[in-house]
Every structure is written in structure tokens, then in C-alpha cells.
């Protein structure tokens, strides 16, 4: 059973070191892009501590943050560990120094923190993705 996107999970207490977010889904056959955002409020235009953006259309995975309506500096992971038509599992591990994205069994990228973890209030998944589950550990 897939849930519909955009999908939002509230994080009323923010994040702390050790919080693990697990996203499972399937990349649709004709997917172009999807994203996972860690947002500082549930309002439109909220700051994002993390924007994790697999792009099947341009074969890249972009990481960024958004503050006061402006994107920060983009980071890119090496390679694209997502394929159209294939299931995936992403772990976003809140570490001391950054968000560690693990895709499948493989550490993929460490996105260094740009804002306090306590500001994060919601995890949002949207775009071209069939979402199976979001779990916070």
C-alpha cells in the first residue's frame, strides 16, 4: 500500500543526534524527480534544513537547504543509487556533524548541518515517488 504524496510527518520535538528517518518507496517508471525535505514549520515557504532531491531526469542527487526563500549551496552525491521502476530505502541519520544519507546498504553522502536541529518540525516527501512508508526511530 503506497501513501499519497505530498506526505508530511510532524516532528513536534524537532530532531536530535541519533534520530533516524527511514523512507521506503518505489521510483515510478516515468519518474523525473522527488524529494525529502526537513522543514522548520508546516507553513508554505518554510525554511528547509535539508532538501534531498534524487533526479532521474538529469541523473544526479542534489542536497541543499532553504532559508528565507533562498536556496543555499547545492551539494551532490556521487552516482545515482536510484533507478526507475525499482524499490529503494533511504535512511537519513541525524549525526553530530550532519545528516548522513544511506541508500540501501551504502553510505551515500554527509550533508553538514547548516541550522540548529531543534528548528526542524516536519518531514515532507513529494514529487515522483510511490511512497511505502516513513518511520522515525
Contacts with ligand 9QG, residue ranges (CB under 6 A): 35, 51, 53, 62, 64, 71, 74
What length is written for the chain? 137
Q: What minimum distance in Å lies between the beta carbon of 64 and ligand 9QG?
A: 4
Which of 134, 110, 115 is CA-nearest to residue 124?
A: 134
Measured from the CB atom, is 13 or 74 closer to ligand 9QG?
Answer: 74
Which residue is closest to ligand 9QG by CB?
64
C-alpha cell at 50: 535539508
d(CA 65, CA 54): 15
Measured from the CB atom, is 1 or 70 closer to ligand 9QG?
Answer: 70
Phi first, then psi: what are they for 76, rounded to 5°?
-125, 140
Q: What minimum distance in Å lies between the beta carbon of 62 and ligand 9QG?
A: 5
Amino acid at each position: 500500500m503506497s501513501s499519497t504524496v505530498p506526505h508530511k510527518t510532524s516532528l513536534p520535538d524537532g530532531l536530535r543526534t541519533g534520530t533516524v528517518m527511514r523512507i521506503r518507496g518505489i521510483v515510478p517508471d516515468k519518474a523525473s524527480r522527488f524529494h525529502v525535505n526537513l522543514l522548520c514549520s508546516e507553513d508554505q515557504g518554510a525554511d528547509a534544513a535539508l532538501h534531498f532531491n534524487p533526479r532521474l531526469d538529469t541523473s544526479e542527487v542534489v542536497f541543499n537547504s532553504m532559508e528565507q526563500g533562498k536556496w543555499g549551496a547545492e551539494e551532490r552525491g556521487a552516482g545515482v543509487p536510484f533507478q526507475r521502476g525499482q524499490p529503494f530505502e533511504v535512511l537519513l541519520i541525524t549525526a553530530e556533524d550532519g545528516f548522513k544519507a544511506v541508500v540501501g546498504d551504502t553510505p551515500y553522502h554527509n550533508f553538514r548541518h547548516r541550522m540548529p536541529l531543534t528548528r526542524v518540525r516536519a518531514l515532507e516527501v513529494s514529487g515522483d515517488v510511490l511512497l511505502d512508508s516513513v518511520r522515525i526511530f
